Structure 1
Amino acid sequence: MILDISMWIWIPLALAIILAFINQIKASFALLGITLIGAIIEQRLNMIGLAGIAAGLLVAYKTPSLEKKWQLGAYLFIFLWCIALFLHLIPGFNNAKVLDAVVTGPLSVPFTLYLNLDKPLILFGLLLAYPALLGSKANINKKALIYTAIPLFSLLPLAWGLGALKPEFTLPNWWWLFALNNLLLTCVAEEAFFRGFIQQSLSKRFGWIAGVAVASVLFGIAHIGGGLLLVVFATLAGVGYGLAFHYSARLWVAVAFHFLFNFMHLVFFTYPIMK
Protein backbone atom coordinates (compact mmCIF):
# COMPACT_ATOMS: atom_id res chain seq x y z
CA MET A 1 0.00 0.00 0.00
CA ILE A 2 1.16 3.51 -0.82
CA LEU A 3 -0.25 5.88 1.79
CA ASP A 4 0.91 9.38 2.69
CA ILE A 5 -0.29 12.27 4.81
CA SER A 6 -1.86 14.11 1.86
CA MET A 7 -4.59 11.47 1.75
CA TRP A 8 -6.36 12.98 4.75
CA ILE A 9 -8.48 14.92 2.25
CA TRP A 10 -10.42 11.75 1.40
CA ILE A 11 -11.69 11.57 4.99
CA PRO A 12 -13.96 14.66 4.79
CA LEU A 13 -14.93 13.56 1.25
CA ALA A 14 -16.09 10.17 2.56
CA LEU A 15 -18.01 11.84 5.38
CA ALA A 16 -19.58 14.26 2.88
CA ILE A 17 -20.85 11.33 0.81
CA ILE A 18 -22.29 9.58 3.88
CA LEU A 19 -24.03 12.77 5.04
CA ALA A 20 -25.50 13.27 1.56
CA PHE A 21 -27.23 9.90 1.82
CA ILE A 22 -28.85 10.84 5.14
CA ASN A 23 -30.06 14.16 3.67
CA GLN A 24 -27.63 16.38 5.57
CA ILE A 25 -26.96 18.30 2.39
CA LYS A 26 -25.56 21.55 3.84
CA ALA A 27 -23.11 19.70 6.07
CA SER A 28 -22.21 17.45 3.14
CA PHE A 29 -21.28 20.39 0.91
CA ALA A 30 -19.38 22.05 3.76
CA LEU A 31 -17.20 18.95 4.03
CA LEU A 32 -16.83 18.90 0.25
CA GLY A 33 -15.49 22.46 0.50
CA ILE A 34 -12.95 21.34 3.12
CA THR A 35 -11.95 18.50 0.80
CA LEU A 36 -11.35 20.82 -2.14
CA ILE A 37 -9.39 23.37 -0.10
CA GLY A 38 -7.30 20.56 1.35
CA ALA A 39 -6.76 19.11 -2.13
CA ILE A 40 -5.32 22.42 -3.34
CA ILE A 41 -3.07 22.71 -0.27
CA GLU A 42 -1.87 19.12 -0.70
CA GLN A 43 -1.39 19.61 -4.46
CA ARG A 44 -3.96 16.98 -5.34
CA LEU A 45 -5.93 19.63 -7.26
CA ASN A 46 -4.89 22.75 -9.13
CA MET A 47 -6.83 25.84 -10.13
CA ILE A 48 -7.70 24.46 -13.57
CA GLY A 49 -9.33 21.43 -11.97
CA LEU A 50 -11.09 23.67 -9.44
CA ALA A 51 -12.49 25.78 -12.27
CA GLY A 52 -13.84 22.62 -13.93
CA ILE A 53 -15.50 21.59 -10.68
CA ALA A 54 -16.95 25.04 -10.09
CA ALA A 55 -18.39 25.25 -13.62
CA GLY A 56 -20.16 21.91 -13.26
CA LEU A 57 -21.52 22.61 -9.78
CA LEU A 58 -22.72 26.08 -10.77
CA VAL A 59 -24.65 24.81 -13.78
CA ALA A 60 -26.03 21.96 -11.65
CA TYR A 61 -27.18 24.41 -8.96
CA LYS A 62 -29.00 26.58 -11.51
CA THR A 63 -30.55 23.72 -13.51
CA PRO A 64 -33.70 22.99 -11.43
CA SER A 65 -34.77 26.65 -11.53
CA LEU A 66 -34.24 27.16 -15.27
CA GLU A 67 -37.08 27.45 -17.76
CA LYS A 68 -37.78 24.17 -19.53
CA LYS A 69 -36.37 25.42 -22.81
CA TRP A 70 -32.98 25.90 -21.08
CA GLN A 71 -33.12 22.88 -18.80
CA LEU A 72 -32.48 20.33 -21.54
CA GLY A 73 -29.23 22.05 -22.49
CA ALA A 74 -28.22 22.28 -18.84
CA TYR A 75 -28.89 18.57 -18.28
CA LEU A 76 -26.90 17.75 -21.40
CA PHE A 77 -24.01 19.79 -19.98
CA ILE A 78 -24.26 17.94 -16.65
CA PHE A 79 -24.36 14.60 -18.48
CA LEU A 80 -21.17 15.43 -20.40
CA TRP A 81 -19.53 16.85 -17.24
CA CYS A 82 -20.20 13.55 -15.46
CA ILE A 83 -18.76 11.57 -18.39
CA ALA A 84 -15.64 13.77 -18.30
CA LEU A 85 -15.22 13.08 -14.58
CA PHE A 86 -15.69 9.34 -15.12
CA LEU A 87 -13.02 9.31 -17.82
CA HIS A 88 -10.68 11.68 -15.92
CA LEU A 89 -10.78 14.13 -18.84
CA ILE A 90 -10.94 17.29 -16.72
CA PRO A 91 -7.32 18.34 -16.10
CA GLY A 92 -5.91 19.44 -12.77
CA PHE A 93 -6.47 16.33 -10.63
CA ASN A 94 -3.66 14.36 -9.02
CA ASN A 95 -5.43 11.20 -7.91
CA ALA A 96 -3.59 9.05 -5.38
CA LYS A 97 -2.23 5.64 -6.39
CA VAL A 98 -2.61 3.47 -3.29
CA LEU A 99 -2.11 -0.03 -4.72
CA ASP A 100 0.45 -0.62 -7.44
CA ALA A 101 0.30 -3.90 -9.40
CA VAL A 102 -0.79 -6.01 -6.42
CA VAL A 103 -2.31 -9.47 -6.85
CA THR A 104 -5.22 -10.93 -4.92
CA GLY A 105 -3.94 -14.46 -5.54
CA PRO A 106 -1.74 -16.55 -7.85
CA LEU A 107 -4.50 -16.97 -10.44
CA SER A 108 -5.28 -13.25 -10.75
CA VAL A 109 -3.66 -10.55 -12.86
CA PRO A 110 -1.96 -7.55 -11.16
CA PHE A 111 -4.31 -4.85 -9.95
CA THR A 112 -3.72 -1.11 -9.45
CA LEU A 113 -6.00 1.10 -7.37
CA TYR A 114 -6.36 4.89 -7.24
CA LEU A 115 -8.27 7.00 -4.77
CA ASN A 116 -10.08 9.27 -7.21
CA LEU A 117 -10.98 12.82 -6.32
CA ASP A 118 -12.76 13.65 -9.56
CA LYS A 119 -15.19 10.73 -9.98
CA PRO A 120 -16.98 11.15 -6.59
CA LEU A 121 -17.86 14.74 -7.51
CA ILE A 122 -20.53 13.30 -9.81
CA LEU A 123 -22.72 12.66 -6.77
CA PHE A 124 -22.60 16.29 -5.66
CA GLY A 125 -23.29 17.71 -9.10
CA LEU A 126 -26.28 15.43 -9.57
CA LEU A 127 -27.62 16.21 -6.09
CA LEU A 128 -27.84 19.86 -7.15
CA ALA A 129 -29.14 19.27 -10.67
CA TYR A 130 -31.58 16.46 -9.92
CA PRO A 131 -33.08 16.75 -6.41
CA ALA A 132 -34.89 13.38 -6.72
CA LEU A 133 -31.52 11.61 -7.11
CA LEU A 134 -31.57 9.65 -3.84
CA GLY A 135 -35.04 8.21 -4.47
CA SER A 136 -38.15 8.41 -2.33
CA LYS A 137 -39.66 6.99 0.85
CA ALA A 138 -41.95 4.57 -0.94
CA ASN A 139 -42.34 1.10 0.57
CA ILE A 140 -39.52 -1.33 -0.14
CA ASN A 141 -40.57 -4.48 -1.97
CA LYS A 142 -38.40 -6.90 0.02
CA LYS A 143 -39.58 -10.03 -1.76
CA ALA A 144 -38.76 -8.54 -5.16
CA LEU A 145 -35.31 -7.55 -3.89
CA ILE A 146 -34.62 -11.15 -2.88
CA TYR A 147 -35.73 -12.36 -6.31
CA THR A 148 -33.43 -9.73 -7.83
CA ALA A 149 -30.43 -10.71 -5.70
CA ILE A 150 -30.52 -14.41 -6.68
CA PRO A 151 -29.87 -14.00 -10.44
CA LEU A 152 -27.59 -10.99 -9.86
CA PHE A 153 -25.16 -12.83 -7.60
CA SER A 154 -25.43 -15.90 -9.81
CA LEU A 155 -23.59 -13.95 -12.49
CA LEU A 156 -20.25 -14.63 -10.76
CA PRO A 157 -20.51 -18.44 -10.88
CA LEU A 158 -21.94 -18.10 -14.39
CA ALA A 159 -18.79 -16.20 -15.40
CA TRP A 160 -16.79 -19.07 -13.91
CA GLY A 161 -18.79 -21.56 -15.95
CA LEU A 162 -18.06 -19.57 -19.12
CA GLY A 163 -14.33 -19.46 -18.33
CA ALA A 164 -14.13 -15.74 -17.59
CA LEU A 165 -13.28 -16.22 -13.89
CA LYS A 166 -11.93 -18.90 -11.59
CA PRO A 167 -12.71 -19.51 -7.92
CA GLU A 168 -9.96 -18.07 -5.71
CA PHE A 169 -10.73 -17.41 -2.06
CA THR A 170 -8.54 -14.53 -0.87
CA LEU A 171 -8.74 -11.70 1.62
CA PRO A 172 -5.69 -9.51 0.93
CA ASN A 173 -4.41 -7.24 3.70
CA TRP A 174 -5.62 -4.23 1.74
CA TRP A 175 -9.24 -5.47 1.53
CA TRP A 176 -10.46 -2.63 3.78
CA LEU A 177 -8.97 -0.01 1.45
CA PHE A 178 -10.60 -1.68 -1.54
CA ALA A 179 -13.92 -1.82 0.32
CA LEU A 180 -13.95 1.84 1.35
CA ASN A 181 -12.86 3.03 -2.09
CA ASN A 182 -15.28 0.76 -3.94
CA LEU A 183 -18.26 1.58 -1.75
CA LEU A 184 -17.89 5.35 -1.29
CA LEU A 185 -15.94 6.51 -4.32
CA THR A 186 -16.82 4.04 -7.10
CA CYS A 187 -20.24 2.50 -6.51
CA VAL A 188 -21.79 5.73 -5.24
CA ALA A 189 -20.69 7.71 -8.31
CA GLU A 190 -21.75 5.01 -10.77
CA GLU A 191 -25.12 4.36 -9.17
CA ALA A 192 -25.86 8.08 -8.81
CA PHE A 193 -25.24 8.55 -12.54
CA PHE A 194 -26.71 5.40 -14.07
CA ARG A 195 -29.55 4.63 -11.66
CA GLY A 196 -30.31 7.83 -9.75
CA PHE A 197 -30.08 10.14 -12.76
CA ILE A 198 -30.42 8.23 -16.05
CA GLN A 199 -32.74 5.40 -14.99
CA GLN A 200 -34.95 7.59 -12.85
CA SER A 201 -35.25 10.32 -15.50
CA LEU A 202 -36.15 7.87 -18.25
CA SER A 203 -38.52 5.90 -16.00
CA LYS A 204 -40.57 9.00 -15.28
CA ARG A 205 -40.90 9.73 -18.99
CA PHE A 206 -41.03 6.31 -20.67
CA GLY A 207 -41.76 3.81 -17.89
CA TRP A 208 -39.53 1.86 -15.51
CA ILE A 209 -38.73 -0.98 -17.93
CA ALA A 210 -37.25 1.44 -20.46
CA GLY A 211 -35.40 3.24 -17.67
CA VAL A 212 -33.79 0.05 -16.36
CA ALA A 213 -32.99 -1.21 -19.86
CA VAL A 214 -31.33 1.95 -21.18
CA ALA A 215 -29.37 2.63 -17.98
CA SER A 216 -28.15 -0.99 -17.92
CA VAL A 217 -27.01 -0.95 -21.55
CA LEU A 218 -25.15 2.33 -21.00
CA PHE A 219 -23.57 0.87 -17.86
CA GLY A 220 -22.42 -2.12 -19.89
CA ILE A 221 -20.98 0.07 -22.66
CA ALA A 222 -19.04 2.00 -20.02
CA HIS A 223 -17.06 -1.23 -19.45
CA ILE A 224 -16.09 -1.64 -23.11
CA GLY A 225 -12.41 -1.39 -22.20
CA GLY A 226 -12.61 -4.88 -20.68
CA GLY A 227 -13.94 -6.51 -23.84
CA LEU A 228 -17.31 -7.64 -25.16
CA LEU A 229 -17.87 -10.32 -22.51
CA LEU A 230 -17.42 -7.78 -19.73
CA VAL A 231 -19.89 -5.45 -21.48
CA VAL A 232 -22.48 -8.26 -21.47
CA PHE A 233 -21.94 -9.14 -17.81
CA ALA A 234 -21.86 -5.47 -16.76
CA THR A 235 -25.15 -4.92 -18.60
CA LEU A 236 -26.73 -7.88 -16.79
CA ALA A 237 -25.35 -6.67 -13.46
CA GLY A 238 -26.73 -3.23 -14.30
CA VAL A 239 -30.18 -4.79 -14.70
CA GLY A 240 -29.79 -6.18 -11.17
CA TYR A 241 -28.76 -2.84 -9.73
CA GLY A 242 -31.54 -1.14 -11.66
CA LEU A 243 -34.16 -3.51 -10.31
CA ALA A 244 -32.77 -3.04 -6.80
CA PHE A 245 -33.31 0.70 -7.21
CA HIS A 246 -36.76 0.23 -8.75
CA TYR A 247 -38.06 -2.12 -6.04
CA SER A 248 -36.56 -0.14 -3.15
CA ALA A 249 -36.95 3.43 -4.48
CA ARG A 250 -33.69 4.19 -2.64
CA LEU A 251 -30.34 4.82 -4.27
CA TRP A 252 -28.40 3.43 -1.30
CA VAL A 253 -29.93 -0.01 -1.92
CA ALA A 254 -28.57 -0.06 -5.48
CA VAL A 255 -25.20 1.08 -4.12
CA ALA A 256 -25.26 -1.76 -1.56
CA PHE A 257 -26.08 -4.39 -4.21
CA HIS A 258 -23.29 -3.04 -6.46
CA PHE A 259 -20.73 -3.03 -3.65
CA LEU A 260 -21.61 -6.52 -2.40
CA PHE A 261 -21.29 -7.87 -5.94
CA ASN A 262 -17.83 -6.32 -6.35
CA PHE A 263 -16.67 -7.43 -2.90
CA MET A 264 -17.82 -11.03 -3.51
CA HIS A 265 -15.87 -10.92 -6.77
CA LEU A 266 -12.76 -9.83 -4.88
CA VAL A 267 -13.03 -12.42 -2.10
CA PHE A 268 -14.28 -15.53 -3.91
CA PHE A 269 -13.00 -15.24 -7.50
CA THR A 270 -10.01 -14.11 -9.50
CA TYR A 271 -9.88 -10.31 -9.40
CA PRO A 272 -10.08 -8.33 -11.58
CA ILE A 273 -9.68 -11.20 -14.06
CA MET A 274 -7.79 -14.47 -14.20
CA LYS A 275 -4.41 -14.85 -15.82
Structure 2
Amino acid sequence: MSLPTDILIWALLAGSTGLTLARQWRAGALLLVLCLLAALLMERLTPFALSLVTGGLALACGLHRLPEPYRPAARALVLIWALALMLHQIPGFDNLKVLDKVLTGPASQPFTLYLNLDKPLALFGLLLAWRDLLGPGGKIRWRPLLLLTLPLAGLLLAAWGLGALKPEVGLPSWWWLFALNNLLLTCASEEALFRGCLQQRLSERFTPLAGLLVASGLFGVAHLAGGPLLVGFAALAGVCYGLAFNLSGRLSVAIAIHFLFNFAHLALFTYPLASR
Protein backbone atom coordinates (compact mmCIF):
# COMPACT_ATOMS: atom_id res chain seq x y z
CA MET A 1 0.00 0.00 0.00
CA SER A 2 1.54 3.29 -1.12
CA LEU A 3 0.98 6.44 0.91
CA PRO A 4 1.05 10.05 -0.36
CA THR A 5 3.82 12.43 0.58
CA ASP A 6 1.49 14.52 2.73
CA ILE A 7 1.27 11.62 5.18
CA LEU A 8 4.02 13.66 6.85
CA ILE A 9 1.28 15.90 8.28
CA TRP A 10 -0.29 13.05 10.22
CA ALA A 11 3.08 11.62 11.24
CA LEU A 12 3.88 14.97 12.87
CA LEU A 13 0.42 15.07 14.48
CA ALA A 14 0.77 11.54 15.86
CA GLY A 15 4.22 12.38 17.21
CA SER A 16 2.92 15.54 18.83
CA THR A 17 0.07 13.63 20.46
CA GLY A 18 2.37 10.93 21.80
CA LEU A 19 4.84 13.45 23.23
CA THR A 20 2.02 15.48 24.79
CA LEU A 21 0.56 12.42 26.49
CA ALA A 22 4.08 11.68 27.78
CA ARG A 23 4.13 15.24 29.21
CA GLN A 24 6.93 16.34 26.86
CA TRP A 25 5.25 19.70 26.37
CA ARG A 26 7.85 21.64 24.36
CA ALA A 27 8.65 18.84 21.93
CA GLY A 28 4.94 18.14 21.48
CA ALA A 29 4.20 21.82 20.82
CA LEU A 30 7.02 22.04 18.28
CA LEU A 31 5.71 19.07 16.29
CA LEU A 32 2.19 20.49 16.42
CA VAL A 33 3.37 23.80 14.94
CA LEU A 34 5.26 21.92 12.21
CA CYS A 35 2.16 19.80 11.54
CA LEU A 36 -0.08 22.84 11.07
CA LEU A 37 2.47 24.60 8.84
CA ALA A 38 2.89 21.47 6.71
CA ALA A 39 -0.91 21.11 6.43
CA LEU A 40 -1.19 24.72 5.29
CA LEU A 41 1.62 24.42 2.72
CA MET A 42 0.25 21.12 1.36
CA GLU A 43 -3.27 22.59 1.18
CA ARG A 44 -4.82 20.15 3.64
CA LEU A 45 -5.75 23.15 5.81
CA THR A 46 -7.04 26.53 4.67
CA PRO A 47 -5.88 29.82 6.21
CA PHE A 48 -9.40 30.32 7.61
CA ALA A 49 -9.36 26.93 9.36
CA LEU A 50 -5.86 27.62 10.68
CA SER A 51 -7.05 30.92 12.14
CA LEU A 52 -9.89 29.14 13.96
CA VAL A 53 -7.52 26.47 15.27
CA THR A 54 -4.95 28.96 16.52
CA GLY A 55 -7.69 31.15 17.96
CA GLY A 56 -9.11 28.25 19.96
CA LEU A 57 -5.67 27.23 21.20
CA ALA A 58 -4.85 30.81 22.16
CA LEU A 59 -8.10 31.16 24.11
CA ALA A 60 -7.46 27.86 25.90
CA CYS A 61 -3.90 28.89 26.72
CA GLY A 62 -4.85 32.35 27.99
CA LEU A 63 -8.04 31.66 29.93
CA HIS A 64 -6.12 30.99 33.16
CA ARG A 65 -5.03 34.64 33.12
CA LEU A 66 -8.58 35.92 32.72
CA PRO A 67 -10.43 37.33 35.74
CA GLU A 68 -12.30 34.57 37.54
CA PRO A 69 -15.82 35.68 36.48
CA TYR A 70 -14.89 35.26 32.78
CA ARG A 71 -13.25 31.83 33.00
CA PRO A 72 -16.42 29.67 32.87
CA ALA A 73 -17.53 31.37 29.66
CA ALA A 74 -14.07 30.97 28.15
CA ARG A 75 -13.99 27.28 29.06
CA ALA A 76 -17.44 26.83 27.52
CA LEU A 77 -16.17 28.39 24.28
CA VAL A 78 -13.16 26.06 24.28
CA LEU A 79 -15.46 23.08 24.80
CA ILE A 80 -17.70 24.18 21.90
CA TRP A 81 -14.58 24.65 19.75
CA ALA A 82 -13.36 21.15 20.64
CA LEU A 83 -16.77 19.61 19.88
CA ALA A 84 -16.87 21.39 16.52
CA LEU A 85 -13.47 19.92 15.64
CA MET A 86 -14.44 16.42 16.71
CA LEU A 87 -17.72 16.56 14.78
CA HIS A 88 -15.96 17.93 11.66
CA GLN A 89 -18.02 21.12 11.77
CA ILE A 90 -15.17 23.57 11.15
CA PRO A 91 -14.69 24.10 7.40
CA GLY A 92 -11.31 24.15 5.73
CA PHE A 93 -9.95 20.70 6.61
CA ASP A 94 -9.13 18.17 3.89
CA ASN A 95 -8.77 14.93 5.80
CA LEU A 96 -6.77 12.21 4.05
CA LYS A 97 -8.57 9.06 2.85
CA VAL A 98 -6.10 6.18 3.11
CA LEU A 99 -8.45 3.19 2.76
CA ASP A 100 -11.46 3.17 0.46
CA LYS A 101 -14.05 0.41 0.91
CA VAL A 102 -11.51 -2.31 1.68
CA LEU A 103 -12.44 -5.68 3.16
CA THR A 104 -10.89 -6.70 6.46
CA GLY A 105 -11.93 -10.27 5.64
CA PRO A 106 -14.44 -12.13 3.47
CA ALA A 107 -17.23 -11.87 6.06
CA SER A 108 -16.71 -8.16 6.82
CA GLN A 109 -18.45 -5.10 5.47
CA PRO A 110 -16.38 -2.64 3.40
CA PHE A 111 -14.30 -0.27 5.50
CA THR A 112 -13.11 3.26 4.70
CA LEU A 113 -10.46 4.99 6.80
CA TYR A 114 -9.67 8.70 6.97
CA LEU A 115 -6.75 10.21 8.81
CA ASN A 116 -8.46 13.15 10.49
CA LEU A 117 -6.63 16.40 11.08
CA ASP A 118 -9.44 18.30 12.81
CA LYS A 119 -10.62 15.81 15.47
CA PRO A 120 -7.19 15.13 17.08
CA LEU A 121 -6.53 18.86 17.52
CA ALA A 122 -9.25 18.99 20.18
CA LEU A 123 -6.91 17.23 22.61
CA PHE A 124 -4.48 20.14 22.71
CA GLY A 125 -7.09 22.81 23.40
CA LEU A 126 -8.74 20.72 26.10
CA LEU A 127 -5.39 20.13 27.78
CA LEU A 128 -4.56 23.84 27.76
CA ALA A 129 -7.96 24.70 29.24
CA TRP A 130 -8.03 21.91 31.85
CA ARG A 131 -4.53 21.26 33.10
CA ASP A 132 -5.59 18.18 35.05
CA LEU A 133 -6.86 16.52 31.85
CA LEU A 134 -4.26 13.73 31.95
CA GLY A 135 -5.49 12.63 35.38
CA PRO A 136 -4.36 12.97 38.98
CA GLY A 137 -1.98 10.00 38.85
CA GLY A 138 -1.37 7.97 42.00
CA LYS A 139 -1.29 4.25 42.61
CA ILE A 140 -2.74 2.05 39.87
CA ARG A 141 -5.22 -0.56 41.08
CA TRP A 142 -4.06 -3.33 38.79
CA ARG A 143 -6.35 -6.19 39.81
CA PRO A 144 -9.71 -4.48 39.21
CA LEU A 145 -8.19 -2.78 36.16
CA LEU A 146 -7.34 -6.14 34.60
CA LEU A 147 -10.82 -7.45 35.43
CA LEU A 148 -12.24 -4.85 33.02
CA THR A 149 -11.17 -7.15 30.20
CA LEU A 150 -14.07 -9.45 31.15
CA PRO A 151 -16.99 -7.05 30.47
CA LEU A 152 -15.23 -5.73 27.38
CA ALA A 153 -14.83 -9.27 26.04
CA GLY A 154 -18.49 -9.80 26.94
CA LEU A 155 -19.48 -6.87 24.72
CA LEU A 156 -17.76 -8.42 21.70
CA LEU A 157 -19.38 -11.78 22.42
CA ALA A 158 -22.79 -10.12 22.83
CA ALA A 159 -22.36 -8.38 19.48
CA TRP A 160 -21.59 -11.80 17.99
CA GLY A 161 -24.67 -13.28 19.63
CA LEU A 162 -26.83 -10.49 18.18
CA GLY A 163 -25.41 -11.07 14.69
CA ALA A 164 -23.62 -7.73 14.39
CA LEU A 165 -20.20 -9.44 14.38
CA LYS A 166 -18.81 -12.81 13.34
CA PRO A 167 -15.51 -14.41 14.34
CA GLU A 168 -12.80 -13.63 11.78
CA VAL A 169 -9.31 -14.08 13.19
CA GLY A 170 -6.42 -12.35 11.44
CA LEU A 171 -5.01 -8.96 10.62
CA PRO A 172 -5.19 -7.14 7.28
CA SER A 173 -2.02 -5.75 5.66
CA TRP A 174 -2.95 -2.24 6.80
CA TRP A 175 -3.33 -3.14 10.50
CA TRP A 176 -0.40 -0.90 11.51
CA LEU A 177 -2.03 2.14 9.91
CA PHE A 178 -5.29 1.37 11.68
CA ALA A 179 -3.43 0.96 14.98
CA LEU A 180 -1.50 4.24 14.81
CA ASN A 181 -4.57 6.18 13.70
CA ASN A 182 -6.86 4.58 16.26
CA LEU A 183 -4.48 4.97 19.19
CA LEU A 184 -3.06 8.46 18.65
CA LEU A 185 -5.65 10.25 16.53
CA THR A 186 -8.97 8.71 17.57
CA CYS A 187 -8.86 7.17 21.06
CA ALA A 188 -6.65 9.95 22.45
CA SER A 189 -9.03 12.75 21.43
CA GLU A 190 -12.18 10.86 22.45
CA GLU A 191 -10.82 9.97 25.87
CA ALA A 192 -9.56 13.52 26.38
CA LEU A 193 -13.09 14.84 25.88
CA PHE A 194 -15.22 12.18 27.58
CA ARG A 195 -12.98 11.03 30.43
CA GLY A 196 -10.33 13.71 30.94
CA CYS A 197 -12.73 16.64 30.58
CA LEU A 198 -16.39 15.67 31.01
CA GLN A 199 -16.08 12.82 33.51
CA GLN A 200 -13.71 14.74 35.77
CA ARG A 201 -15.76 17.94 35.70
CA LEU A 202 -19.06 16.12 36.31
CA SER A 203 -17.50 14.08 39.12
CA GLU A 204 -16.35 17.28 40.81
CA ARG A 205 -19.72 18.96 40.47
CA PHE A 206 -21.89 15.95 41.39
CA THR A 207 -20.49 12.51 42.34
CA PRO A 208 -17.92 10.16 40.76
CA LEU A 209 -20.72 7.74 39.84
CA ALA A 210 -22.74 10.49 38.15
CA GLY A 211 -19.65 11.66 36.29
CA LEU A 212 -18.93 8.13 35.09
CA LEU A 213 -22.48 7.39 33.96
CA VAL A 214 -23.24 10.73 32.30
CA ALA A 215 -19.91 10.85 30.42
CA SER A 216 -20.41 7.25 29.28
CA GLY A 217 -23.95 8.03 28.13
CA LEU A 218 -22.72 11.01 26.14
CA PHE A 219 -20.00 8.81 24.63
CA GLY A 220 -22.76 6.47 23.48
CA VAL A 221 -24.78 9.33 21.99
CA ALA A 222 -21.67 10.40 20.04
CA HIS A 223 -22.02 7.10 18.12
CA LEU A 224 -25.63 7.78 17.15
CA ALA A 225 -24.80 7.64 13.42
CA GLY A 226 -24.14 3.90 13.83
CA GLY A 227 -27.64 3.20 15.10
CA PRO A 228 -29.20 2.52 18.52
CA LEU A 229 -27.36 -0.79 19.04
CA LEU A 230 -23.99 0.91 18.63
CA VAL A 231 -25.07 3.70 21.00
CA GLY A 232 -25.79 1.14 23.71
CA PHE A 233 -22.58 -0.81 23.17
CA ALA A 234 -20.49 2.38 23.08
CA ALA A 235 -22.06 3.61 26.32
CA LEU A 236 -21.28 0.31 28.06
CA ALA A 237 -17.73 0.34 26.71
CA GLY A 238 -17.50 3.94 27.92
CA VAL A 239 -18.29 2.78 31.47
CA CYS A 240 -15.27 0.45 31.25
CA TYR A 241 -13.02 3.22 29.93
CA GLY A 242 -14.24 5.53 32.69
CA LEU A 243 -13.53 2.90 35.32
CA ALA A 244 -10.06 2.43 33.85
CA PHE A 245 -9.49 6.16 34.25
CA ASN A 246 -10.70 6.09 37.88
CA LEU A 247 -8.72 2.97 38.79
CA SER A 248 -5.47 4.29 37.33
CA GLY A 249 -5.77 8.07 37.70
CA ARG A 250 -4.29 8.30 34.20
CA LEU A 251 -5.90 9.28 30.92
CA SER A 252 -3.23 7.26 29.10
CA VAL A 253 -4.58 4.05 30.66
CA ALA A 254 -8.13 4.81 29.50
CA ILE A 255 -6.74 5.49 26.01
CA ALA A 256 -4.85 2.18 26.05
CA ILE A 257 -7.92 0.18 27.16
CA HIS A 258 -10.05 1.87 24.50
CA PHE A 259 -7.47 1.12 21.81
CA LEU A 260 -6.96 -2.51 22.86
CA PHE A 261 -10.72 -3.11 22.70
CA ASN A 262 -10.87 -1.68 19.18
CA PHE A 263 -7.79 -3.65 18.10
CA ALA A 264 -9.22 -6.89 19.51
CA HIS A 265 -12.35 -6.21 17.45
CA LEU A 266 -10.18 -5.85 14.32
CA ALA A 267 -8.06 -8.93 15.05
CA LEU A 268 -10.75 -11.37 16.21
CA PHE A 269 -14.02 -10.37 14.55
CA THR A 270 -15.44 -8.91 11.37
CA TYR A 271 -14.61 -5.22 11.08
CA PRO A 272 -16.44 -2.91 11.19
CA LEU A 273 -19.44 -5.26 11.08
CA ALA A 274 -20.44 -8.59 9.63
CA SER A 275 -21.74 -8.59 6.07
CA ARG A 276 -25.33 -9.70 5.79
- Is the shorter-chain TM-score for this pair beyond 0.5, marking a shared fold? yes
Task: State the secondary structure of the residue aligned to 1:120.
Answer: helix
Q: Hey, what does 2:88 align to over in structure 1?
A: 88
For the residues of structure 2 that align with 1:152 and 1:70, how far apart are their CA atoms? 41
Q: Hey, what does 2:255 align to over in structure 1?
A: 255
Task: State the secondary structure of the residue aligned to 1:119.
Answer: helix
Let me know the Cα RMSD of the aligned residues.
1.1
Q: Hey, what does 2:74 align to over in structure 1?
A: 74
For the residues of structure 2 that align with 1:74 and 1:2, how far apart are their CA atoms? 43
State the AA in 2 paired with 1:246.
N
For the residues of structure 2 that align with 1:168 and 1:180, how far apart are their CA atoms? 21
Measured against aligned partners, the alpha-carbon deviations of 1:130-151 in whole angstroms (never above 9, x if no partner) come to: 0000012211111120222211
Residues 25-174 of structure 1: pairs in structure 2 closer than 5 A = 25-174=25-174
Confirm or deny that 1:9 pairs with 2:14. Answer: no
Measure how far apart 1:2 and its partner are.
Answer: 5.5
Confirm or deny that 1:202 pairs with 2:213. Answer: no
Task: State the secondary structure of the residue aligned to 1:113.
Answer: strand
Measure how far apart 1:69 and its partner are.
Answer: 2.3
State the AA in 1 paired with 2:85.
L
Unaligned runs of 5+ in 2: none
For the residues of structure 1 that align with 2:244 and 2:121, how far apart are their CA atoms? 23
**Range moving further from structure 2, 198-207 or 185-194:** 198-207
**Range moving further from structure 2, 138-147 or 220-229:** 138-147
Measure how far apart 1:263 and its partner are.
Answer: 0.4
Q: If the length of structure 2 is used for normalisation, what is the TM-score? A: 0.97
- Native 8 Å contact 1:2 1:99 kept in 2: no
The size of the alignment, in residue pairs, is 275
Q: Which runs of 4+ in 1 moved over 4 A?
A: none
**Range moving further from structure 2, 233-242 or 58-67:** 58-67
For the residues of structure 2 that align with 1:53 and 1:112, how far apart are their CA atoms? 26
The percent identity for this pair of structures is 55
**Range moving further from structure 2, 168-177 or 229-238:** 168-177
